[in-house]
Amino acid sequence: MTFYRQCHLSKGTTKEVVWIPEKFAKTGKYLLIKDSDGWRVDAAYGRRSEDYLWAQERYHLNAFPSLL
């Protein structure tokens, strides 16, 4: 089973909060994301399974059908 961690990433002045695979969620590590390198993992938080995250995404999409 694949697990993900919620992380704060930064690149220059840009900040993002994302779920990334646990094996990459190491504070201080720099990542290459879709041909954009230099994203730094500033912090890593909660751990969730891939199944849980997909279920949450479907739940939130169904809660707001106008977004589909």
On the question of pLDDT at 61 being above 80, the answer is no
19-59 confidence digits (pLDDT tens): 999 999 999 999 998 887 889 999 999 999 988 888 887 76
**Bridge partner residues of 30 (DSSP):** 40
Give me the numbers of helices (H) and strands (E) for the chain, helices first please.
Answer: 1, 4
Which sequence spans correspond to the domains of the chain? 3-67
Q: What is the pTM of this model?
A: 0.76
Tokens 């900040």 map to which residue?
A: 15
Residue, of 60 and 38, whose pLDDT is higher: 38
Q: How far is CA 46 from CA 4, 16, 49, in A?
A: 8, 15, 10
Residue, of 55 and 14, whose pLDDT is higher: 14
